[in-house]
Structure 1
Amino acid sequence: MLRNLRPVVASTLDPVGRALARVGLTPNAVTVLGSVGVLTSALVLYPRGELLLGTLLVTFFTLFDMLDGAVARARTRDNEFGAFLDSFMDRLSDAGILCGLLLWFIGGGNSPVLTLVTLFCLVAGFGVSYVKARAEGLGVRCDVGIAERTERLVIVLTAAGLEGMGVPYALPTGLWLLALLSVVTIGQRLLETHNRLGGAERRPTSH
């Protein structure tokens, strides 16, 4: 849904990317630094109940992670491993955010129901990504879905930040919404893949 904003974001980040490239940072280094920042912030601050500070830092490092593409454009180099690394680190970052919230609900948050909802969101998030990756592995595009990675991040970070500011029911509402939209997105991607493959009765090898 937010993919139409990507050209605008890219043009905004390009000057920063050129500056980082001039000081010697590589796209892969930017990817790793951003993801490590997200993981550290989420896994240290969220379990302690510091939802607002954790969200601010996670958001900062998430935006920093977006600079890897700008640095790559500044260095005018295409790197297939860089694209692979970026996708892998994105999955780790997404999992780290939800694991931090999961630890909070298990501990000080003391909410068995939201523990299960957060765990469901964690698994469903991997499901959303896997359907797309598997479809592309079979040679078909699967760029559909109401809640791609950007939308899912916006929902969970907004909800956690508002909860940290004392807004009642912000985080539970955000997590239930994230769970629902993740299921819808998986369904959309399964249907799209089925249609593009023509419903062929072939069974690819399992992983």
Structure 2
Amino acid sequence: MLNVLRPAVTRVMTPLSRALARLGVSPDVITMIGTLGVAVSALAFYPTGRLTLGSLVITVFVLADLLDGVLARMTGKGSTWGAFLDSTLDRLSDAAIFSGLIGYFVLKDEPEILLAGVALFCLVAGALVSYAKARAEGLGMTANVGIAERGERIAVVLVVAFLSGLGVPYVLPAGLWLLAAASAVTVVQRMVHVYRQAVVR
């Protein structure tokens, strides 16, 4: 769903991409910097309760996930390796974000184990959503369906964590429960979609 915003984001990032291209920066370097920034920020800020600051810093590095693609297209340096690296490191970024939230719930003065479990479910379900698509494509099919692709999942978790850090009540639990449900539905949607291609012909 957030793919409709990609052209606008691309226009905004094009000047920065040109500057990086002139400096000879590789898209793969941008990918790795973005992932490292997300991981360090999530694991440093979230478990210590700095949700708003953490979400802001993470968002800056998440944008590198779009910047590397713009730079690759601009310089003609897009490659199969780059696509593989980007997708693989996306899983690491996701794991860091949700692990940071799990740490936040567990390390509170009054631990919220249920919400830690919901955050863990969101992490696992999100990985299944991505795996279902990758496995389907590996078998010559498609699985580009679902209400909660990676962009939506990351946007939701960053927004609700940011608002929670500002003191908005119940927004983080509500957001995580919603995200858990949407991720589970997306897994089922992709399984049904692949089933129809594989069996119902």
Return the TM-score normalized by structure 1: 0.93
Q: Secondary structure at the match of 1:140?
A: coil
**Contact between 1:32 and 1:89, CA under 8 Å: does it hold in 2?**
yes
- The separation in 2 between residues aligned to 1:78 and 1:159, in whole angstroms, is 34
- The separation in 2 between residues aligned to 1:44 and 1:74, in whole angstroms, is 34
Map residues 1-207 of structure 1 onto 2, 5 A cutoff.
Answer: 1-108=1-108, 110-199=111-200
- Aligned residue pairs total 200
Give the drift of 1:2.
1.6
State the Cα deviation string for residues 141-193 of structure 1 (Å, max 9, x = none). 11111010010011100110000000001110110011000001001101111
1:15 partner letter: P
- The separation in 2 between residues aligned to 1:21 and 1:89, in whole angstroms, is 22
Give the drift of 1:199.
4.3
**Contact between 1:42 and 1:54, CA under 8 Å: does it hold in 2?**
yes
Q: Percent identity?
A: 51
- The separation in 2 between residues aligned to 1:172 and 1:31, in whole angstroms, is 30
The runs of 4+ residues in structure 1 deviating greater than 6 Å are none
Match of 1:205 in 2: none
1:185 partner letter: T
- The separation in 2 between residues aligned to 1:194 and 1:173, in whole angstroms, is 32
Give the drift of 1:10.
2.0
RMSD of aligned Cα (Å) = 1.2
- The separation in 1 between residues aligned to 2:94 and 2:4, in whole angstroms, is 22
State the Cα deviation string for residues 18-70 of structure 1 (Å, max 9, x = none). 11111121000000001100000000110100001100000111012320011
2:30 partner letter: V
5+ residue gaps, structure 1, are 201-207
1:50 partner letter: R
- The separation in 2 between residues aligned to 1:12 and 1:27, in whole angstroms, is 17
**Contact between 1:163 and 1:171, CA under 8 Å: does it hold in 2?**
yes
- The separation in 2 between residues aligned to 1:15 and 1:142, in whole angstroms, is 33
**Contact between 1:33 and 1:65, CA under 8 Å: does it hold in 2?**
no
Match of 1:204 in 2: none
- The separation in 2 between residues aligned to 1:65 and 1:187, in whole angstroms, is 26
1:66 partner letter: L
- The separation in 1 between residues aligned to 2:192 and 2:10, in whole angstroms, is 30
1:31 partner letter: T
2:184 partner letter: V
Return the TM-score normalized by structure 2: 0.96
**Contact between 2:42 and 2:54, CA under 8 Å: does it hold in 1?**
yes
